[in-house]
Every structure is written in C-alpha cells, then in structure tokens.
Structure 1
Amino acid sequence: MAELLVELFSEEIPARMQARAGDDLKRLVSEALKTANLAFDTAVAYATPRRLALVVAGLPSQQPDLVEEKKGPKYGAPAQAIQGFMKANGIKSLHTEAELRETDKGPFYFVVRKVAGRPTAEVLPEILAKAIAELPWPKSMRWAGDTQRWVRPLHGIVAVFDGMALKGGLAMGEGRQIPFGAQSRGHRFLAPDAFDVITFDDYRVKLHGAKVMLDPAERRALIAQQAAALAREAGVTVKDDAGLLDEVTGLVEWPQVLIGRIDAAFMDLPAEVLSTSMRSHQKYFSTERADGSLADRFLVVANMEAPAGSERAKTIVAGNERVLRARLADARFFWDQDRQQPLSARVPRLKEIVFHARLGTVADKVSRLEDLAAEISNYVPGADRDEARSAARLAKADLVTGMVGEFPELQGVVGRYYALNDGKAPAVADAIAQHYAPLGPHDACPSAPVSIAVALADKIDTLVGFWMIDEKPTGSKDPYALRRAALGVIRLIVENKLRLPLLKAFAVAQADYAGLSAAPVAGDLMDFLGDRLKVVLRDQGVRHDLITAVMARGGEDDLVRLLARVEALGSFLDSDDGSNLLVAYRRAANIVRIEEKKDQRS
C-alpha cells in the first residue's frame, strides 16, 4: 500500500481560515478517492500560515477492476430498439457480445464488460486539481493574470505518491499552471531554501529542520508551555484566552514566546482597556497577579528563533514594547477625551445610529428601554425603579465614545467606567456594563437587581421588535441573534428565580413601538421561548416527555412556575404512587384501544 503527500504552499493564510481549510481539503480528496474506488486507511490534514498539507495512507497502486453490466431491450423487441442499444454500447452482434437472461418480465439482453482499473498515479492528478480548485474560502483573490481564485497567491504544490512526484498540475488560466512536484520550502526567514521530499515522515523531519512545526496542536502546546514558564519566572500567571492561543498558533510556524513590560505610565488605565488593546491590535497575552489584578507584563509570540536573553530576543521585545506604548497612548487619548463630557450628554447622538431600518435608531430603542426596564423592575426583588430607568437611558451611550469606536468589544464596560466618573450609583454603572449579558451559555448571568431588569428589557425589546416586523429565525439562519436573546431571557429569569409575567412584558414592549403592526406577538413569542426552554431542559437531562406534558397545558408565562411543575411531575412519577398511576393508565388505555378496534370491525 502506498502513501499520498500533498502540500499547498502559499502566502500567509489567515489564521481563522486554516483549520477549516485543512478539513475541507481532507474532505474533498477523501470523497473523490471513494468515488474513484480508491480505498485508503487514513487521511490527516495539517495547516501552518504558509501551507496546507495532507497525507493519505494505505492507497492501492491502481483501481480495482470493475464488471460493468447494462440491461438492453427485451428479446423480440423491434429492430430499431435493438440497433440503438448495439450502437450505444459499441457491439456488432447480440449473439456473441451480449447475454440473453430470463427475468421476471421475460428474457432481456445484457452487455457485460470487464473494465480494467487505472493506475492510481493517473487518477490522483485529476482528483487533486479538482479538489484544490474547489477548495471553499470565505474570501478569495486572483493575482497576476491568472483566473484561478485562492485565498492567497499559491506558489507551489507538492504531490508525491509512492515516493514519486505526480504528473500534471493546477491550471491557473491563460495557459499557465502550477506543476505538481516534490519540492517544499522551510521558514520564510530562518530556512527559505527548497528541499526535496519523498514520504510524509521525510517531509515532516525536513520541515522541522527548516524551522517549521507542521502540526498546529504541537505549536499550540509549545506556546502554552513557553508562556506559562516565562510568566512563572516573572511571578505572574497567563490570563486564560483560548481564542487568542488558537489565533497566534495560526500566525507562526516556529513559535518563540517572549515577555515584555507595560510602561508604568499607562497602568492607571482600566484593566479591560489595557488587555483589549494588547489582545485586539497586538495579539499579546495579558498576565495577572496572584489577586487576579492585571500585571504589568505581557507575552508576545514571535515567528522567529530567539532564545531568551539573546540580542535578537531583546530587539524583538523592545520593538513590541515601543509599538504597545503607541497603542496605549491612543487609548489614553480616548480615555481622557471621553471623560470630558458626561455620558448623559452623549445620549442625543444615538439618533445618528440606526438600530434597524424598520425599528428606528438606537435613541428610539433607548427610549423604549427606559419604560420597559422600569416596568420589569417591579418584578425583580430589590431593583430600584429610578435606577433601572437611569441605567437603561445610559446603557447605549458609550457607543458614541472614542474608546468604543476604537475597541467595539468594550461597549458596556467603558460605559460603566464613565458612569462612575460622572458620579452615578454603582448599581447603575454595573447595569450598563452587564446589560448585554449573558452572551452565551458559558457567559456569566447578571444577578444584581438593576442589572437583571435592564438586561431583560434590552433582550425583550429586541425580540418583540423583530417579531413585529416578521424577522424571525428560520432554520439555520438567525442574523440578529434572536435565539441567543431568547436564551438570555430564559437564563436571567430561571437563574434569578423571577416571577415575571412574560406575556405582560411582551405587551408593554410592543405598546412602545409606534407605527408598526398592532397585531399581538406575545403568544407566538411565548411559543418561541417555550421551544428554547425545551432545548435548555433537554441539555440538562430533563425527560422530554415531562417537558411536553407540562407545556401542553398552554397559557403559562411564568417560567419559574413552569419549571416547578416539571420538577413536581418528575418527582411524582418517580414515586410508588406515580408508578402505580402509570400502570393503571396504560392498562386503561390498552382496554380502550382494544374496544375501539372491536367497534370498527362491527
């Protein structure tokens, strides 16, 4: 059995696309091999910033021979039908080149041919050229005079089968092609020279010698290990950030983690501003002290061989510290400028931001939020109505600040700092920061009374508005994240045990939408939340029949009471009385079913 090695060598592939591209290459080639009757043992894909690689093990030297059978006309069929069958199959005599077989419908002619399998080395170039050309990318480009599109300019293709380079190549248009070969290249700066490869093991060893770690999992583990060691030496810990770790893994072929220091002049900026600036723009890891506060050290992953303490390492660290100072100087400017104007003075500018073409501006949404948050606060123990209204009014004001313009992911967080700077109550400031939460199943759910009221108001207003204009989620499409908003409403109510009448909350929200359809949406929206709740409960291991039984009653908009019924029903059915009731019910149901059948026969 033989091995196929493929490498697509290109300019830097965006980190977020690499894993998917490797999977797609594996899928396209694997499916094509199966279609061509070429069985194989394993197929494994790898990705680095400059290459996609695929190794397929256990391929045969040629396709298996096939027996091709075609059914023809019936014995005694008109001559025209027989002649057409003979011509289509290239035969001159039915008696010598066809078989007459008896079937359920009488005797028919059959043509049986043995089709010899083609050498695998002849089939593979066709498979690879098609797979490479059809590789799907979120974004692609053309370059030079070529017509073939790819994510970045493609420079070379390694295609080696059983130790030999395959013939052929990828057509690029205008008569140009990238030929298949057996030559790869190493790290762009550390080992750019070409080298020949014969097998995957040979390829992997030579790549490593050329300062390229092929396996993303190995690069990821090495980065995490080096970062933890450097942080430990500095007396700090690395702030957990799996997403950033995945991203930087896709930015380097030969990772080297180095540690730098944040200029003390910027350490008075909010920790979120510092860490976001480092993460978003520079791809640096933040570090924390033992008490969880942000430390003045950062970790950068270089795509270079630079042992700690070497001149190259010092140069890299100094350069990154200089760039970070410039970034943080910008953040300092926005921080100082934004605080010169109170947050409340920015609210009128929200008229300049469209929330949705049919639902008005963000200013319109804020106006609705004030009323809805005040109403919901009546059902949240400990929530102050005036504070809920104040927080709702200011919740979106930071969208027009310079800081959020530079760091959109800080919306809400920045609003909290600016509200505190303006002398607002801590409960109001916290509600501004938390009103987007929870953003997902693993995101923390607000538990402070005012924060709960404003977060619920924000999500309910969004759901009601989109229901009124009939922009509901369909199938796999949910462009406005309405399922997430619904799950957020469920979590806020259930985790805080709120006795909130949702139908009334939906009606209050709808009443604040002027100029839209007056048709009530509360019932349909309640059904949608019920479906989402079923999903949540099933994920928690609750029996689906209990959920269905309780919800079949209908008309219930108190989620806490609904869940209590599910729990009570489950406890009852698990008891002796419940088991006896089920036995009696099933017996009675069987008797009724038997009697109904008797009635139908009589």
Structure 2
Amino acid sequence: MPDLLIELLSEEIPARMQGRAGADLKKLVTDGLVEAGLTYASAEAFATPRRLTLTVEGLTAESPTLIEERKGPRVDAPEKALDGFLRATGLSKDQLEARDDKKGQVWFAKITKPGRPAAEIVAEVLETAIRTFPWPKSMRWGAGTLRWVRPLHGILCILTDTASGTAVVPLQIDGLVAGDATVGHRFMAPDGFAVSGFDDYVAALKRARVMLDPAERANHIRHDAANMAFAQGLDVVEDAGLLAEVAGLVEWPVVLMGPIGEEFLNLPPEVLQTSMREHQKFFSVKNPKSGRIEKFVTVANVETADHGATILSGNRKVLAARLSDAKFFWENDLRVANAGMAPWLDSLENVTFHNKLGSQKARIDRIAALASEIAPLVGADPELAEQAAQVAKADLSSEMVYEFPELQGTMGSYYARAAGLAPEVAAACKEHYSPLGPSDDVPTAPVSVAVALADKLDTLTGFWAIDEKPTGSKDPFALRRAALGVIRLLLENGRRLSLAKVAARGYAGCFTAAYCNTAIAESDDRGNLINYRPKEPEESVVSDLLSFFHDRLKVFLRDEGIRHDVIDACLALPGNDDLTLLVTRARALSAFLRTEDGGNLLQGFKRSNNILTQAEAEDGVAYEFGPDIKFAESDEEKALFAALDSAEVAIEGAIAAEDFASAMAAMASLRAPIDAFFEAVQVNAENQIVRRNRLNLLHRIRQICLSAADLTRIEG
C-alpha cells in the first residue's frame, strides 16, 4: 500500500489563511480519493508561509473493480428504446440478459467498471482540488487561467511503496509539471533537492532550514523567547494569537530580543504591548517586579553572521518611531484628562450611536440614569455609579483610542485616575465592557457591575425599542452577547433585580424628541414643542425582551446539564424576570429530578394530572373543591391526606424563604404516599361521592406540586 506526498509551493501565503488552507487541502484530496474508490490509513496536512503539504499513509494501490446492474426496457419494447439503452450502457444486444419482471420480460445489463491505479486517480483529484481550492482571496498571474492565493511555483506529488520505490504522479496544470523535488529556505537554502517519501522530505527540509510543522515552529518561538527572558529575570507576556500568527510568517524562526528606548518605558504597558503587537508583531517582555514592559521579542526568518544585531537595530528604529506616536497621543490625552475630560464628553454629542437612538452623549446620559437606579440593587453607591457611567466612554474621543480602538476602557481607567476620580470610577471605566465573551472575566466591584449592567441593558432595550432584533444567525449589534453578559453579571455576582422593571425604565429612556417618533409630543400654535413625554413601554416589547433573556439563559445553563424543559417549568412561576431566583429554582429542580424520588414523583404527578384532566373534560366540571378525609376509605388514602397537609406547609414555607432545595425535599416526601395511593385505590369509583372526593384529592396533589414548579412542562 503506497504512501502519498503532496507539496504545493508558492509565494508567501498569508498567515491567517494557512491553517484553513491545510484543512481544505486534506478534505478535498481525501474526499476525492474515497469517492473514487481508494481508502487510506491516515492523513495529515501542514502549512508554512510558502508551502501546503499533505501526507496520506496506507493508500490502496488501485480502486476495486465494480459491477453495476442496470434495468432496461421490456424485451418487446420498440427498437429505439433498446438502442438508447445500449448507447447508455456501451454494450451490444447479445451482452444483455432477459429476466422475468412484474410486467413481463425486461432487459438487464451488467456493466463492469475496472479498477484504476492510484496514480491516475490522485492526478485527477489533485488537479480538481487545485483548480477549485476555496481561498478567501485568489489571483491569476501570467497568461494562465489558474488561480491561487499567490503565484504557484511547483507541485511535488509522489507515491512511495516499499516494494516498487518512489514514483512521480503524472500531472500537469497550466505548465506546472509535478515532480519529486522541492526547494528549501528562500535565502539560506534556495537550491532544489529530490525526496523519496514523507520522512525523507521532513528531514531534508530541516537540513534546508525549513520547519514544516507550524506547531513545532510555535513551540520553538515560545521556548527560545522564554529562555531569553528568563536569563535576564524577565517574563514574556503570553499572546497565543500573536504566536500563531508569527509562526505563520517564518519557515525558520530565529528569536531575537532587544530593549525598548528609555523614553518609552513610562507608557502604560497596554499601550506598549498593543503598539508592538499591531504594528511590528513583537512580543512584549515585562519586568515581573515592576510590571513594566522593558524589552521586546521579534522573530526573524533568517540566521545572520552578526547573530541578528543588524535586524534588531533596524527593528528598534522602526519601533521608536511607532512608540513616539504613542507617546505623543498619551501626553496629549493626559492634558485633557487632567482638565476633567469635558472636551471629550462634549465631542461625543456629535458622534451618532444610532440614527434612531441618538448620539453617544445621549446614550451616556441614559446609561448614567439607569446605573444610578441599578446601583442600590447591586450594593453600589448611586452617585459613584452615575459618575462612572458619565465618564466611562469619554476615552472614545481620545487620540490613543482613535489609534488603538481595542484600548477603549483600558485607557479610560488611566484617564479617570489622572482626572483625580475615585478608584471605583476608574475601575468601572475599564470593566464596564466586560464580559465580552464566555471566557472573559466578570467584574465584581459593585460600581463596575452597576455600570456594566446599565450599558448592556440600554443597548438591549434601545434596539428592542426600535425593533432591531437578532434574526437567525444575524446579530450585527451583538445583542446576544449583551444578554449573556447581563446573565453572567447577575448570576456570578449573586445579584437580584427585576429585569422587567429595569427593561421598562430603559425602554422609556430610549425615546427622545430628536430621535424617536413614537413619543407623545404637544406643540403650540406656532409649532413649538411645549410638552414632551415618552410613551409608556408596550408590555409586549418588554415581554419579548424578557423571552430573549430566557432563551439565552437556556443556552447558558445547557453546559451545566440543566435541560430547557426544567427552565420552562420554573418560568411558569411568578418572579421569572429575576434571573438569579429563576436559576436557583432551576438548579434545585434539576437536581431533584435526577434522584429516584424525583423521577418517580414526576410519574405520580403526571398520572394524577392525566386522570384529573380527562375526568374534567368528560364531566364538564372542575374538581377544585377541597377533598374531605371523612370520605377516605383506605389507610393509603388517609395517609395521602396527612402527607399532603404536611408537605403543603413545608413547601409554602420553603418557597417563601426561597429555599428551593428544601421545597423539593418536601415534595419528595409525597412520592411514597402517592405511589401507595394509586396501588391501593381506584380513583373512578362507582360511588360518585367517593369518586368526586378522590378527584378533588388529585387536584390538591396537582396544586401542591405546581406551587414548586410547573411539572406539566417536564418532558418524559
């Protein structure tokens, strides 16, 4: 069974495309081979800036011979029908076989498709893969029609078998002829060399200064950078995204470390790190004692006689120019911050947040008012929360954030401190954007929590007010992320608030005379506005937004193993706009249903509910009157009366105290009496008084169980 090796050599492939390209090459080729009848043991793809490589091991030497049976026309069919069938099958009439069928005798054809050698199939599959390769962007060059991400220079395609040796797959695409040779590093080993298999190929590339595996290149960079920093008592700042990108920029990584100019060391570390990462693809090296960024690590693609001294010198000059700009922005921004940030806040009046929701300044005013109302509910000082909300987005007008938008919030915290504002306000400037994703930390400081909630709730209520909701997979304003942020802020901080009330307040705050035509306005005879007030929020809008939160909550709790029907069972109870209370209920119910008592009680409840529902439908009456123990005939029936009395008191007390675990435990005590009741008693007794009393007893079971959760919504 031969092994297949493919290499597509080209000009530099953008780092962001390499991982996907390797996966696409593997899928296109292996899927094509399998569809053509070949099988294989394993396949693996690799990518460097100049080459895509695929190795397929244990490939079958040829496709199997296939025999296909095809049904044709009836034996007595017209000659034209038979001629068409013969042309389609490529057979003659004497090669057909007549067989009995439901409607008489019918012609059958046996078509034999002989197997084909692997080389022939590989050539077809690879040419198709190259011509249809799904690059995000591609180009044509020269006079050919072939498109590739960058000009394609060479194709290596060989089959290696222990018995027959190495054979080149015959393939030619737009003048490129497949062979068994490749080249090494563009500068250090540009000469070509032939290879005889994958192991030989990897070893030869290594000698020619090319590391084929991107994971090996990344590990080499990480290891060398960490060792260099450790030798000087420093630490490399972890940056997985930058590491993956840099590993895709070089075929032979050479790690170099250099100092940052003294005049830049007092810049905020986030500024240094962002500037070096975005502009130069440098790693930051910090002093663990001071936390300052003091050096940088760059990765060259070539070894030099001076051990990188010339490269470092050039990089330092370019870096100094970049950091000079950052220093200029920082110093200008500090002057504005020291003066109280008023010019920044005023300029936001001219920045539109949304054409139906007003300016950024108008939005900030809404967030500040909402944060002040939310603050007492999360243990924050209302005045501090309002102040923090007023300045939290001021840095959007700063020069530094204009240059590096990803530093919004971070720079705001520095500027708030420079303005002499309280530490809680400075922290809220940075933290109010969080959490940005499922792995992002959630702020815990009360002022930060208040502003973060107000920010996200204003976004949600605003876009709901103008009917700009997520549809399908489209969510241009990241409203799902905002809802998940609200959920995590409340749950992970254990905070309680009524989302319906806050949403109604946020909804009303979104309407301004300048930007919303659904407000109520009165004018004088000359058309001047004399009275303006927002419309009261439509109940359906708030209800719809609450449903959106509940849907996001189901997704969030799915990872905990809490089923959607369990959440639905709790949503049917009062207070479902308090997400913390709702989740506490759902967790208690979920844990209860996983127990033996919980599962059995659920079946007992469903049996009671089904019998009662059917009887009410047939009789046309509701059995909602209290049952009387004097009509109980059996000990099991009397025991159920006593158990319901005890459980009802316990469940009501536990729910009032919001001790849902105890409520579920009290409900579990009903399992045995209900089971015994159904074992010993026939509900639909012949005595109508007894029957009615027992149906009323079932109603009491239903009501007591429904007081803890709507078990009718539980599946199974």
> Partner of 2:704 in structure 1?
none
> Partner of 2:51 in structure 1?
51
Q: 1:328 aligns with which of 312, 323, 327?
A: 323
- How far apart are residue 574 of structure 1 and its match? 6.1
> Partner of 1:402 in structure 2?
399
- Distance in 2 (CA, whole Å) between partners of 1:563 and 1:456 is 18
- How far apart are residue 413 of structure 1 and its match? 0.7
Give the greater-gyration-radius structure (CA): 2
Structure 1 counterpart of 2:315, one-letter code? N
- Distance in 2 (CA, whole Å) between partners of 1:99 and 1:340 is 96
- How far apart are residue 103 of structure 1 and its match? 4.2
SS at match of 1:339: helix
Q: Does 1:474 align with 2:471?
A: yes
> Partner of 1:85 in structure 2?
85
Of residues 69-78 and 450-459 in structure 1, the stretch that sits farther from structure 2 once superposed is 69-78
Structure 2 counterpart of 1:167, one-letter code? P
> Partner of 1:444 in structure 2?
441
Structure 1 counterpart of 2:317, one-letter code? R
- How far apart are residue 587 of structure 1 and its match? 5.4
- CA distance 1:106–1:473, change in 2 (3 Å): farther
Structure 2 counterpart of 1:25, one-letter code? L
SS at match of 1:189: coil
> Partner of 1:7 in structure 2?
7
CA displacement 1:298-318 (0-9 Å, x = unmatched)? 222221225xxx623222233
- Distance in 2 (CA, whole Å) between partners of 1:459 and 1:453 is 10
- Distance in 2 (CA, whole Å) between partners of 1:391 and 1:149 is 54
- How far apart are residue 582 of structure 1 and its match? 3.5
Q: 1:256 aligns with which of 248, 254, 257?
A: 254
Q: Does 1:504 align with 2:495?
A: no
> Partner of 2:207 in structure 1?
209
- How far apart are residue 504 of structure 1 and its match? 1.5
- CA distance 1:553–1:409, change in 2 (3 Å): same
Q: 1:142 aligns with which of 132, 140, 143?
A: 140
SS at match of 1:112: strand
- CA distance 1:374–1:138, change in 2 (3 Å): farther
Q: How does 1:551-590 map to 2 (within 5 A)?
A: 551-553=571-573, 556-570=576-590, 572-573=592-593, 578=598, 581-582=601-602, 584-585=604-605, 588=608
- How far apart are residue 463 of structure 1 and its match? 1.9
- How far apart are residue 145 of structure 1 and its match? 4.5
> Partner of 2:35 in structure 1?
35
- How far apart are residue 9 of structure 1 and its match? 1.3
- How far apart are residue 490 of structure 1 and its match? 0.5
- CA distance 1:439–1:516, change in 2 (3 Å): farther
> Partner of 2:663 in structure 1?
none
> Partner of 2:523 in structure 1?
none
> Partner of 2:532 in structure 1?
none
- How far apart are residue 256 of structure 1 and its match? 1.8
> Partner of 2:560 in structure 1?
540
SS at match of 1:430: helix
Structure 2 counterpart of 1:485, one-letter code? A
Unaligned runs of 5+ in 2: 161-165, 519-536, 620-716
Do 1:468 and 1:516's aligned partners in 2 also have CA atoms closer than 8 Å?
Answer: no
- How far apart are residue 371 of structure 1 and its match? 2.3
- CA distance 1:57–1:475, change in 2 (3 Å): farther
- How far apart are residue 412 of structure 1 and its match? 0.9
- CA distance 1:292–1:456, change in 2 (3 Å): farther
Do 1:13 and 1:152's aligned partners in 2 also have CA atoms closer than 8 Å?
Answer: yes
- CA distance 1:361–1:146, change in 2 (3 Å): farther
> Partner of 1:174 in structure 2?
none
- How far apart are residue 273 of structure 1 and its match? 0.9
- How far apart are residue 418 of structure 1 and its match? 1.3
Structure 2 counterpart of 1:244, one-letter code? L
- How far apart are residue 521 of structure 1 and its match? 2.3
> Partner of 1:414 in structure 2?
411
- CA distance 1:102–1:394, change in 2 (3 Å): farther
- Distance in 1 (CA, whole Å) between partners of 2:577 and 2:412 is 33
Of residues 104-113 and 279-288 in structure 1, the stretch that sits farther from structure 2 once superposed is 104-113
> Partner of 1:165 in structure 2?
168
Q: How does 1:65-464 map to 2 (within 5 A)?
A: 65-93=65-93, 96-103=94-101, 106-162=104-160, 163-171=166-174, 177-291=175-289, 293-305=291-303, 311-342=306-337, 343-381=341-379, 383-464=380-461
Structure 2 counterpart of 1:170, one-letter code? I
Q: How does 1:18-33 map to 2 (within 5 A)?
A: 18-33=18-33
Q: 1:529 aligns with which of 540, 545, 549?
A: 549
Of residues 367-376 and 31-40 in structure 1, the stretch that sits farther from structure 2 once superposed is 367-376
- How far apart are residue 277 of structure 1 and its match? 1.5
CA displacement 1:215-237 (0-9 Å, x = unmatched)? 11111111111122111111122
- Distance in 2 (CA, whole Å) between partners of 1:594 and 1:39 is 60
Do 1:236 and 1:295's aligned partners in 2 also have CA atoms closer than 8 Å?
Answer: no
> Partner of 2:643 in structure 1?
none
- Distance in 2 (CA, whole Å) between partners of 1:410 and 1:235 is 28
Q: Cα RMSD (Å) of the superposition? A: 2.7
- Distance in 2 (CA, whole Å) between partners of 1:516 and 1:126 is 63
Which protein, 1 or 2, shows the higher relative CO under an 8 Å CA cutoff with sep ≥ 6?
Answer: 1
Matched residues, percent identical? Answer: 51
- CA distance 1:593–1:428, change in 2 (3 Å): closer
- Distance in 2 (CA, whole Å) between partners of 1:168 and 1:510 is 66
- Distance in 2 (CA, whole Å) between partners of 1:537 and 1:221 is 36
- How far apart are residue 540 of structure 1 and its match? 2.2
How many residues end up aligned between the 2 structures?
Answer: 588
CA displacement 1:383-414 (0-9 Å, x = unmatched)? 22232222222222212221112211111111
Give the TM-score taking structure 2 as reference length: 0.77
Structure 1 counterpart of 2:253, one-letter code? P
- How far apart are residue 161 of structure 1 and its match? 2.8
- How far apart are residue 357 of structure 1 and its match? 4.4
Unaligned runs of 5+ in 1: 172-176
Give the TM-score taking structure 1 as reference length: 0.90
- How far apart are residue 208 of structure 1 and its match? 0.6
- CA distance 1:110–1:471, change in 2 (3 Å): farther
Do 2:370 and 2:454's aligned partners in 1 also have CA atoms closer than 8 Å?
Answer: yes
- CA distance 1:390–1:144, change in 2 (3 Å): farther
CA displacement 1:144-181 (0-9 Å, x = unmatched)? 4544332222222222233233333334xxxxx43323
- Distance in 1 (CA, whole Å) between partners of 2:101 and 2:461 is 65
- CA distance 1:437–1:57, change in 2 (3 Å): same
- How far apart are residue 427 of structure 1 and its match? 1.6
Do 1:47 and 1:53's aligned partners in 2 also have CA atoms closer than 8 Å?
Answer: yes
- Distance in 2 (CA, whole Å) between partners of 1:117 and 1:67 is 10
